[in-house]
Amino acid sequence: MILVTGATGALGTLVAEHLAGRDDVVLGTRDPGRLAASSPVRRIDFDDPDSLAEGFADVDVLLMISAGYGEDDAVTARHGAAIDAARAAGVRHIVYTSLTADGDHLPYALPHRWTERRLRASGLSWTVLRNGLYAELLAALAAPSADGRITAPLGEGRLAAVARADLAEAAVRVVLETPAHVGRVYELVGEETVGGADLARAHGPHVTYEPGTLAQARAHLAASGAEAFQVPMLTGTYSAIAAGFMARTGGDLRELLGRAPRSPLAAGVA
Ligand SMILES: NC(=O)c1ccc[n+]([C@@H]2O[C@H](COP(=O)([O-])OP(=O)(O)OC[C@H]3O[C@@H](n4cnc5c(N)ncnc54)[C@H](OP(=O)(O)O)[C@@H]3O)[C@@H](O)[C@H]2O)c1
């Protein structure tokens, strides 16, 4: 049996759509009441060990979607608990959605690398999907204001953005054929890069790109009601893109998909 965690999230929803109708798939979420799904649903909360002992019973392959919202110690604790519970329940193989190697400058890289290390030491069979940053995330971080200006502090930086739908499809291909992917680490970044000016053009002639500073973005985020841990996460994302660390294209996405990746601009802005 295959269990997909985080099934109400944006990535989990897309994965669940691909797997709908299969009789060997179970969806896991913290709140099963929110899921009107065609597959059976179990309550899975990495912060609640009881839910994991029951939820992982009879599971052979676990698609562990990262639960990266929180301080590093909160995220590593929940990922560690999930891996321990999977091993105790007899799960054979974990597929983990991690972060591209080029993301090592991002503030949220640490819990991903910690989880990868923990998986390697777990004695379980595993595959790591090192996802690039979503095209949809970039579009949200660099959305135009009401007066048609994109002020995200991306400078001339560009991102090898990847459509979330492509990452979902790649994850599905791996979970359905885990023996072919044992011990593999896949770099799943886009094949095109996107910058602030491209986003402005994609929105139409009424939108301009006028990048601000990191200090301005930090102040804006802090005043927006974002949680404290989110402010460095987001400013660090702008900074890494602006500094040119997130622009490496290529990787393994085309191989896993068996086709060219979707256009990141179409995925993010359309
Ligand atoms: N590559 C990128 O650009 C990028 C951008 C943002 C985030 N991410 C990471 O990739 C993950 C999936 O992305 P997304 O777009 O689907 O994010 P999302 O829509 O915000 O969904 C958040 C996910 O975290 C899960 N989660 C939160 N706390 C949990 C817990 N205690 N136990 C188990 N699951 C928990 C949620 O599952 P429930 O169904 O239980 O609510 C949901 O799947 C995120 O959680 C984050 O770690 C990647």
**Does residue 223 lie within any of the structural domains?**
no
- pLDDT for 190 equals 97
**Does residue 82 lie within any of the structural domains?**
yes
CATH of the domain at 258: 3.40.50.720
Q: Please provide the distance, in angstroms rounded to a whole number, between the alpha carbons at the two ends of the chain.
A: 36
Question: Number of structural domains, the chain?
Answer: 1
| Pairwise CA distance, residues 133 & 64, whole Å | 18
User: Is residue 42 within 8 Å of residue 27, measured between CB atoms?
Assistant: yes
State pLDDT tens for residues 133-159.
999 999 999 999 999 999 999 999 999
| Pairwise CA distance, residues 133 & 246, whole Å | 8
**Does residue 159 lie within any of the structural domains?**
no
- pLDDT for 268 equals 79
Tokens of 159: 């991102």
State pLDDT tens for residues 187-233.
999 999 999 999 999 999 999 999 999 999 999 999 999 999 999 99
**Does residue 107 lie within any of the structural domains?**
yes
Ligand 1 binding residues, C-beta < 6 A: 5-12, 29-30, 44-47, 65-69, 78, 97, 131, 133-134, 137
**Does residue 144 lie within any of the structural domains?**
no
H/E element, 200? helix 196-203
Nearest ligand 1 atom, CA 31: 40
Q: Kindly report the average pLDDT of the chain as a whole number.
A: 96
| Pairwise CA distance, residues 64 & 231, whole Å | 25
Q: What is the mean pLDDT of residues 39-52?
A: 95
| Pairwise CA distance, residues 233 & 211, whole Å | 19
**Does residue 213 lie within any of the structural domains?**
no
| Domain housing 121 | 2-132+164-188+248-263
Nearest CA to ligand 1 atom 35: 67
How much distance in Å is there from the Cα of 210 to the middle of ligand 1? 31
Assign 120 a pLDDT band (cuts: 50, 70, 90): very high
| Pairwise CA distance, residues 67 & 75, whole Å | 7
How much distance in Å is there from the Cα of 68 to the middle of ligand 1? 6
State pLDDT tens for residues 224-258.
999 999 999 999 999 999 999 999 998 999 999 99
**Does residue 226 lie within any of the structural domains?**
no
Closest CA to 83 of 46, 129, 39: 46
| Pairwise CA distance, residues 131 & 109, whole Å | 11
Nearest ligand 1 atom, CA 35: 39
Assign 270 a pLDDT band (cuts: 50, 70, 90): low
How much distance in Å is there from the Cα of 11 to the middle of ligand 1? 7
* 101, 132, 74, 233 alpha-carbon torsion, rounded to 10°: 100
Residue 37: pLDDT over 70:
no
CA distances from 67 to 50, 84, 209, 227 (A): 17, 16, 32, 16
Query: At which residue do the structure tokens 């190697």 appear?
Result: 101
**Does residue 125 lie within any of the structural domains?**
yes
